Structure 1
Amino acid sequence: MPSSRLRNELKMKQPFESCEQEAILNLLRTNDRFMNRFGRLFRQFELTPSQYNVLRILRGEGKPMPCQEIAGRMIQVVPAMTGLLDRLEKQGLVARERSSEDRRVVYIELTATAKDLLKQMDSPVMELHSQLIGHLTRTELNELSRLLEKARLSVQEDDR
């Protein structure tokens, strides 16, 4: 295997054991860098990436959603969804309401404060997207998305 940029970054003395290993480590390293940058941005707005994700999901749906549905749409699995929602409610960003038909179901909705916060965040979030991968062409971005979705297929089938 030829020398790779990742091997140099990690100061590896030996080559990767396989192309699959190199690709996954590249993916993990890239994710770590991106998450650090997004984490810094979200901290400026006193949010975590998971909290932002909940707010983004609720805004996209445009109406209150059951807690379990939000959990199923998260980019990263959050084991303590109730605690996450507790913190958002304490910040005044979401409100909870029990279903009148099924008391076990709790609906979550955005507050006006959350909607205003998301509007403030829209431009900085889009700018960060551009900073991180705006140097790729539209064709490269489409191909990257296609390959990542293809790679995720085997994991999704295993999770069923």
Structure 2
Amino acid sequence: MAKLQSELKKKSGFQSPAQEATLNILRTSDRLQNRFGKFVREYGLTSSQYNVLRILRGEGQPLPSLEIADRMIQVVPAITGLIDRLEKQQLVSRQRSSEDRRIIHVSITPRGLQLLKKMDKPLLELHQKLLGHLPKSELTQITRLMEKVRASQELTGSA
């Protein structure tokens, strides 16, 4: 009996290797997201809020909110509400574009940078704890395979 089949207490086998692989990816993703979510909550953030701060720090300059939404790891339906909550925590600030008043640029604040700096080392340790037991060659293989899966989804328009 396959490990996932046993974990799920599934009496019969999977209908296809694709089904088994998909369910393995989903189960693993759920476990990783739960661990990551617990980590960021310790710092008063959600995973999506952390992602916004990470994007802004990485860019090093203000970004339009729609650009931030395009760069998110997980799709968020309401980027405005997400930025509202970060602004209330004084982790980001907003400024309307002088060229196009419809565009709002978002910047990370010094307080947001300070929070990320505080999180950096413990987050690296979490990544190591979650996947560091795998050899580099297997981590590279996982990355390559996940990129291949996403690329096929983009080609079929079902991202």
- Normalising TM by the smaller chain, what interval? over 0.9
Superposition pairs for residues 1-160 of structure 1, below 5 Å?
3-159=1-157
- State the secondary structure of the residue aligned to 1:16: coil
Shift of 1:156: 1.2
Cα root mean square deviation, aligned: 0.9
Shift of 1:10: 0.5
Deviation above 6 Å: which 4+ runs of structure 1? none
- State the secondary structure of the residue aligned to 1:96: strand
Long gaps (5+) in structure 1:
none
- How many residue pairs align between the two structures? 158
- State the secondary structure of the residue aligned to 1:76: coil
Q: Which amino acid counterpart does residue 127 of structure 1 have in structure 2?
A: E
For 2:140 and 2:16, how far apart are their aligned partners in 1? 25
- State the secondary structure of the residue aligned to 1:92: coil
Shift of 1:149: 0.5
Q: Which amino acid counterpart does residue 104 of structure 2 have in structure 1?
A: V
For 1:152 and 1:65, how far apart are their aligned partners in 2? 25
- State the secondary structure of the residue aligned to 1:107: strand
For 1:155 and 1:86, how far apart are their aligned partners in 2? 31
Offset from partner CA, 1:129-152 (integer Å, 9 cap, x none): 001100111111111100110111
For 2:156 and 2:87, how far apart are their aligned partners in 1? 34
TM-score (norm 2): 0.97
- How many percent of aligned residue pairs carry the same amino acid? 58
Shift of 1:158: 2.7
- State the secondary structure of the residue aligned to 2:12: coil
- State the secondary structure of the residue aligned to 2:95: strand
